[in-house]
Structure 1
Amino acid sequence: MGDTPATTVTQPQGRRERNKLRVKNRIYEAALVLFTQQGYDQTTVDEITERADVARGTFFNHFQRKEDLIAEWGQERRELLREGLEAGGLTNPEDKATRHVLSRCMSILADISVRNPAQTKAMLTAWVRAGFPLHEHPYAAHMFSEFIRAGRERGDVPQDVDVELAGHLLRDIYLGTLYQWTRGAEEDSDLEAALQAACTAVLDGLVPRCASVR
């Protein structure tokens, strides 16, 4: 509270935040390029800062450790998924059949990974080796559980289905399929088809096929 116009306070703060974000993004993008080209373990912080053209100390102003870049990658993928779900009208899927919702979700997840297959392979490998699947919040499992829960409330998923167990099962199927895809020849494999087949295999045990038409 005071007599100084608010714009004289907020504008410089906005510029500083924008500049900080630009530098952070430059470091992050430089790291992704190097991780993709030569591998996560083979890339040093010094190489990242050299490519990003920033001082070593600047790196640690934005990332406490190299592993934080993996977390940033995971967060970016979650944001892309959220945007894809919103664009597909799936953030509030009460009026859509469960099979349709989960099929579209698998398509979105596949699209995120195939945009840059080499980067996905490098970063997924780093994500697994760093132990993120064990200690990271199971965002995908929670998302799948909510879709299954909505289907159960709608009546196209049996009432005795454990939605939390189903969500974690779908997450494990998704990650396992994604990992197998990164281990194979990219030009000879169709990630979306593999995810759809895996999802169908799970749903056949959860959702009667007659409930998929709506």
Structure 2
Amino acid sequence: MEDTPATTVAQPQGRRERNKLRVKNRIYEAAMDLFTQKGYDQTSVDEITEKADVARGTFFNHFQRKEDLIAEWGEQRRLQLRRGLDAEGIPHTQVKDIRVALSHCMSILAGVSLENPLQTKAVLTAWVRAGFPLHEQPYVAHMFGEFIEAGQRIGDISQDVDACLAGNLLRDVYLGTLYRWTQAPEGRADLEADLQSACATLLDGLLPRCPSTK
């Protein structure tokens, strides 16, 4: 996701590697622009190479299949999420309030999609059709599971809660909300507000209830 992402976290040192990275980024950016304008299925490799001003063989030096561009898109989203969490000090610092931590996380996830909403809607559809939600590692679920474990350590969440299951449920909430947002008419859905509401609803079932004062 989005606009002009870096393909790697660390910049290669050699001139040859820097040039390869620039070409790969140019191909990727051209593809994302075309997917957004025309749709994934309606965009050919030849159109991507023409827009990127590279030879067809150069494309296959960097991406074995057109579907690999979708995988790269997903990886860029993960990098953006990781950078956002690091900037907030989450989860590397001690979590003091699980609701606050997860609220920050949902804000970052919403921001990743809203940075370029048209691209997100176009490529997410292709990501689902290509089956990526089924066969790629559930990175977001693992991350949410870590948050739940942190909540258990500070006593916010019962030790009886299965952190792995809760992480997967939060991933389901995130992806379901994201899918519904892509289908909503323009301006009719607030992605961040919906993510926050869905997360809070699930947390209400995970967090211990305060004893009745009656």
Instruction: Give the structure-2-normalised TM-score.
Output: 0.90
8 Å contact 2:95–2:151 — kept in the other structure? no
5 Å-filtered alignment, 1:155-174, equals 155-174=155-174
Task: Give the C-alpha shift of residue 209 in structure 1.
Answer: 6.3
Residue in 2 that maps onto 1:177: 177
Query: 4+ runs of 1 displaced by more than 6 Å?
Result: none
Residue in 2 that maps onto 1:40: 40
What is the DSSP-based 3-state SS (H/G/I as helix, E as strand, rest coil) of the residue aligned with 1:134? helix
5 Å-filtered alignment, 1:8-19, equals 14-19=14-19
Higher alpha-carbon deviation: 201-210 or 167-176: 201-210
Structure 2 runs not aligned, ≥5 long: 1-11
Residue in 1 that maps onto 2:124: 124
Task: Give the C-alpha shift of residue 188 in structure 1.
Answer: 1.9
What is the DSSP-based 3-state SS (H/G/I as helix, E as strand, rest coil) of the residue aligned with 1:90? coil
Task: Give the C-alpha shift of residue 46 in structure 1.
Answer: 0.2
Give CA-to-partner distance per residue, 1:95-129, whole Å, 9 cap, x none.
42111111110000001101111100001000000
Give me the whole-angstrom Cα distance separating, in 1, the residues matched to 2:134 and 2:93: 29
Residue in 2 that maps onto 1:104: 104
Give me the whole-angstrom Cα distance separating, in 2, the residues matched to 1:13 and 1:168: 39
Is the alpha carbon distance of 1:95 and 1:168 closer, same or farther for their aligned partners in structure 2, counting shifts above 3 Å? closer
8 Å contact 2:95–2:150 — kept in the other structure? no
The residue identity in structure 2 corresponding to 1:182 is T
Give me the whole-angstrom Cα distance separating, in 1, the residues matched to 2:59 and 2:208: 52
8 Å contact 2:96–2:154 — kept in the other structure? no
- Whether 1:74 aligns to 2:74 is yes
Task: Give the C-alpha shift of residue 41 in structure 1.
Answer: 0.6
Give me the whole-angstrom Cα distance separating, in 1, the residues matched to 2:178 and 2:13: 41
Larger Rg: 1
Residue in 2 that maps onto 1:54: 54
Q: Percent identity?
A: 72
Structure 1 runs not aligned, ≥5 long: 1-11
Give me the whole-angstrom Cα distance separating, in 2, the residues matched to 1:37 and 1:151: 43
Higher alpha-carbon deviation: 23-32 or 84-93: 84-93
Residue in 2 that maps onto 1:187: 187
What is the DSSP-based 3-state SS (H/G/I as helix, E as strand, rest coil) of the residue aligned with 2:187? helix
Give me the whole-angstrom Cα distance separating, in 1, the residues matched to 2:93 and 2:167: 16
What is the DSSP-based 3-state SS (H/G/I as helix, E as strand, rest coil) of the residue aligned with 2:14? helix
8 Å contact 2:36–2:122 — kept in the other structure? yes
